[in-house]
């Protein structure tokens, strides 16, 4: 007892109290003090970690889940924290550790009770399927709500981090969920196979439809080609018919002209014949009264040797009934022919 000297660590916030008043405070202080009149409050400046495991948290579909996590926090307002929790410094190291441990437990209990309230509230809005996969959302919700909670401010605490390590359903529920998930996976597999088959069928249908469309287009093109050929052939035939008609008209006109020409030629020949007949008639009429011997003499006097020989044979022929046998030798004919030449 009496005057003592004490040096604290930099991680300790110290408040020196005399007669109920804080006379000195700060981090890592060192000073002399009278044990009879001076008391001290020492608060750790390091962060606190409080793990939790909440069982039988009910979801919106009345399924129990367990939530495991960790909350890290530190003292922000040392004077307020010292009023809510006992951080009195004890001379005995053992007693001092017990005081500090009890203070930590008290703060942790308040923090964890507060966390359980928000976890329960969060899970009550989720069904079990959603709850077991909502770790990140739960951590975010806890951070936001606990930072704004008055309890944290009353204790002078500041939240550092919230971690959700796991959310587990009850074993029976877990098995049911696994079975349902397995069935869903198998269904998805069947759906995938079905979709793949449908896709293959659809692809095959598209291919066949394209082939059919191609055949239809080819047939249409062939039809157009045949129609074009027929149209071209028809036009050629019409043109040929026009040419044939024109040629026939020309032939008819030519035949008509030929007919007229023949008629004209016939008429001309007839007229010539009529003229010759008329001349002959006039000539005969002129010589009708002339003695035949005179005519013969006139005819003979103007004839050449060939004409005379021919005339002689004509007269012989006229008098054949009076001649018995007439022999004309080749030599005679030759002599007559040479003489005529």
Is residue 100, in this structure, part of any structural domain at all? yes
Does residue 115 belong to any structural domain of this protein? yes
At 106, give phi and psi (nearest 5°).
-65, -45
Shared domain for 144 and 60, answered yes or no, is yes
246: in domain: no
The DSSP secondary-structure symbol of 88 reads B
Domain match, 54 and 66 both: yes
pLDDT digit string, tens, across residues 134-190: 999 999 999 999 998 988 888 999 999 999 999 998 888 888 877 877 888 888 888
53 and 158 in a common domain: yes
Q: Say whether both 103 and 42 belong to one domain.
A: no
Is the residue at 4 inside a domain?
A: yes
163 and 99 within one domain: yes
Whether residues 88 and 72 share a domain: the answer is yes
Residues 129 and 40 in one domain: no
Answer yes or no: do 26 and 36 share one domain: yes
Give a yes or no: residue 230 inside a domain: no
Choosing from 169, 186, 202, the residue where a domain stops is 169
- For residue 145, give its domain range: 47-169
Count of CA atoms in the C-beta half-sphere (13 A) of 282? 6
45 in Cβ contact with 122 (< 8 Å): no
On the 0-12 / 13-18 / 19+ scale of CB atoms within 10 A, 11 is: exposed
Residues 42 and 57 in one domain: no
Domain total of the chain: 3
> Are 82 and 165 found together in one domain?
yes
pLDDT tens, 79-129? 999 889 989 888 888 888 898 899 999 999 999 999 999 999 999 999 999
Q: For residues 220 and 228, give the distance between their C-alpha atoms in angstroms, rounded to a whole number.
A: 12
Question: Looking at 141, 169, 197, which one is the last position of a domain?
Answer: 169
For 326-335, the pLDDT digits (tens) are: 566 666 566 6
**Is residue 77 domain-shared with residue 106, that is, in the same domain?**
yes
Q: What is the pLDDT of residues 223-257, one digit of tens each?
A: 888 888 888 888 888 888 888 888 888 888 888 88
Of 65 and 300, the one with more pLDDT: 65
For 53, list phi and psi in degrees, rounded to 5. Answer: -145, 100
Chain centroid to CA 12: 72
pLDDT band of 279, cuts 50, 70, 90? low
- pLDDT above 70 covers a percentage of the chain that reads 81
Are 35 and 52 contained in the same domain?
Answer: no
């Amino acid at each position: 007892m009496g005057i003592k000297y004490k040096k604290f660590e930099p991680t300790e916030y110290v408040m020196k109290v005399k007669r109920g008043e804080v006379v000195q405070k700060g981090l890592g202080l060192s000073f002399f003090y009278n044990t009879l009149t001076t008391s001290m409050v020492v608060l750790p400046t390091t962060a606190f970690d409080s793990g939790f495991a909440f069982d039988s948290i009910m979801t919106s579909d009345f399924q129990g889940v367990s939530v495991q996590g960790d909350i890290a926090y530190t003292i922000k307002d040392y004077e307020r924290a010292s009023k809510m929790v006992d951080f009195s410094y004890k001379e005995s190291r053992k007693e001092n550790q017990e005081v500090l441990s009890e203070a930590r437990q008290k703060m942790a209990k308040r923090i964890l009770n507060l966390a359980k309230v928000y976890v329960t509230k969060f899970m009550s809005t989720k069904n079990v399927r959603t709850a077991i996969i909502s770790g990140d959302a739960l951590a975010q919700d806890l951070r936001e709500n606990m930072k704004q909670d008055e309890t944290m401010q009353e204790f002078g605490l500041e939240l550092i981090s919230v971690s959700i390590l796991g959310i587990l359903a009850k074993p029976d529920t877990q098995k049911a969920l696994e079975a349902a998930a397995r069935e869903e996976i198998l269904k998805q597999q069947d759906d995938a196979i079905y979709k793949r088959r449908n896709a293959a069928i659809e692809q095959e249908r598209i291919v066949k439809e394209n082939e059919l469309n191609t055949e239809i287009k080819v047939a249409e093109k062939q039809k157009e080609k045949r129609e074009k050929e027929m149209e071209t052939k028809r036009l050629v035939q019409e043109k040929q018919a026009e040419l044939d008609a024109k040629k026939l008209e020309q032939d008819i006109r030519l035949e008509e002209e030929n007919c007229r020409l023949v008629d004209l030629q016939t008429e001309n020949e007839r007229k010539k014949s009529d003229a010759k007949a008329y001349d002959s008639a006039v000539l005969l009429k002129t010589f009708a009264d002339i003695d035949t011997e005179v005519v013969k003499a006139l005819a003979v006097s103007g004839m050449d040797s060939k004409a005379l020989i021919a005339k002689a044979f004509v007269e012989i022929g006229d008098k054949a009934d009076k001649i018995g046998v007439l022999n004309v030798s080749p030599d005679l004919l030759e002599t007559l022919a040479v003489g005529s030449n």
